[in-house]
Chains A and B, each alone.
Chain A
Amino acid sequence: MKILVAVKRVIDYNVQIRVKEDNTGVVTDNVKMSTNPPDDNAIEEAVKIKEAGKAKEVVAVSIGEEKAQETVRKALAVGADRGILVKTDNIIEPLAVSKLLQKIVEKEKPDLVFMGKQAIDDDCNQTGQMLSALLNWPQATFASKIEIKDGKLEVTREIDEGLETIEINVPAIVTCDLRLNEPRYASLPNIMKAKKKPIEQLNASDLGVDITPRIEQIKVEEPPKRKAGIKVSSVAELVQKLKNEAKVI
């Protein structure tokens, strides 16, 4: 079995983002970038499946600017075998990403495609489902447990009501939840080894896909600030405030 894992380079989850003064977006210059957190879970799961002898190859793919190569390299450092970088400097929406990934899937012919359930920058939660629609493959979104059984996957999904289990035929798309596993850290020797692993570079414009944005971002603003609150000195004071001032109990 071959597993393709899509990884996205995003602003690190610990960074308090700042909106640009001209309201065209958020500041990304000199800001720490990392792999989108649930994409780390996706890589980890693929590598674990390979280590368990159930997959032969794990290929990491990222779409974005030249620097997204670092994100692919990180995936290689934790166990992916080789990488693909689809280069573009344009803003690409999830629909365009899924069309580009479709081209990669047609070329690579993986049995499974894994990715995080959501990117923490645009918070869209679309790409996996869109790719699955374009390929007409089964989708298992928000996966917190994956079991491989006779060429099928049994996937536990985190839903609002609790948990749901589905069985899907391969080939399939799985979008990963943060609770799927505990992503490992790359060891120094593995980081060194990853430098020798191949990363194929492609240009998005060569893949024959229209990636023109369909959504115009008119402006990006700071959300309204909450009025500063107060500290109370005791539980009794808290309860009095909630009752008499806020009137919520």
Chain B
Amino acid sequence: MSVLLIAEHNNKELKPFTLNASTAASQIDSDVHAVIIGHNCDEAAKALSELPLIKKVIHVEANHYENFVAENFAPVIVKLAENYSHIISSANTFGKNLMPRISAALDTSQISDIIKVIAPDTFLRPIYAGNAFATVKSKDAKKCVTIRPTSFDPCESSGGSAPIEKADPGEQFAKTKFIKREEVKSDRPELGTARVVVSGGRGMQSGDNFKLITSLADKLNAAIGASRAAVDAGYISNDHQVGQTGKVVVPDLYIAVGISGAIQHLAGMKESKVIVAINKDGEAPIFSVADYGLEADLFEAVPQFLEELNKLNTIQK
């Protein structure tokens, strides 16, 4: 049986994690179909059809799909599900919000946030904030699975030409109304996909001091992350939070500044390829996962870091 991937998009473009989810879907079965639900999302549907891994695109259009309300989306996918063995989406806030609604309607026990496909019915997933890995096997006929995007490489985004079929929209769910979305626009790389992430924690002491993180991130073309403590303290907005209940990041380089390294934070970054920790407390747990630890006052170390990076650039020139 085939796999149905739920595409994530903004009505214009595909969201990058759709590519990672496509890879995961293709590891379950090579016959991957993708459904795109939205409003005026022809361009995104076309982009989806160009992913070589996708064999067929199902495009569902209606006004009430413009804002991705799960109550509107779920019935469409439940209806399509009869032709598929697996329903797949990313385990980000889009998929986390939507998939359980589909899963319950299909009377299927969902498997969340997988990091590996072992067999079409068997998956590896982190539990306890990544402090244990569970191998789980679904006994349900239909499987609803969300995938951790950073655990799967993005697929090729061009070269394919899957047919696009239109499917009928469902009714609007009248009891939920979208009001507004406040997106933080930034020219920086996205936190979830950035090659370098610079994160600040409670040690930053104020939102104003986060400009040190910003300067370092500018220099390294990095995304900006934060610990929950820093977000709770109001130093920076929630979309920067890395951790068990925030985002999971796997950059080539993760620089943790003034972050002590609570279990919940480590859950979001400890798979990074190279981890740097700058903290004045030599006993901070962050040092247990750091490849390079610098025990120093961040307010001295970060400006020095910038200086050294400037020197490097001079040498390279």
Residues of A at the B interface (CB closer than 8 Å) are 11, 13-14, 16-17, 19, 26, 38, 93-96, 98, 117-118, 120-134, 137-139, 141-142, 144, 154, 157-169, 172, 177-179, 213-223, 226-227, 229-232, 234-236, 238-239, 241-243, 246, 248-249
Contacts and interface: CB of A to CB of B under 8 A. Distances in A.
B182 A139 contact: no
Given A126-B110, A139-B70, A169-B174, 9 more contacts: A16-B263, A94-B110, A162-B237, A162-B238, A167-B176, A214-B140, A223-B130, A235-B304, A238-B305
Interface stretch (B55-63, B93-101, B155-163): B93-101
Contacts of A169: 174-176
B134 A238 contact: no
B138 A214 contact: yes
A23 B110 CA distance: 22
Contacts of A234: 294
B2 interface: no
B287 interface: yes
A140 B258 CA distance: 33
Contacts of B128: 11, 17, 26, 120-121, 123
A162 B134 contact: no
A101 B304 CA distance: 56
Interface residues of B, number: 91
B113 interface: yes
A230 B293 contact: yes
Contact of A248 (B177, B252, B264, B290): B252
A229 B138 contact: no
Contact of B136 (A128, A139, A218): A218
Nearest to B231: A179
A248 B273 contact: yes
A234 B300 CA distance: 11
Contacts of A157: 93
B167 interface: no
Contact of A166 (B179, B247, B263, B291): B179
Contact of B132 (A13, A19, A235): A19
Contacts of B212: none
A220 B300 CA distance: 43
A110 to B, nearest CB: 16
A119 to B, nearest CB: 10
Given A214-B139, A216-B137, A232-B294, A94 B100 contact: yes
A229 B107 CA distance: 46
The 3 A-B pairs with the shortest beta carbon distances in the complex, nearest first, are: A129-B100, A214-B109, A130-B104
B131 A162 contact: no
Contacts of A164: 178, 180-182
A217 B238 contact: no
Contact of A132 (B101, B129, B312): B101
B85 to A, nearest CB: 15
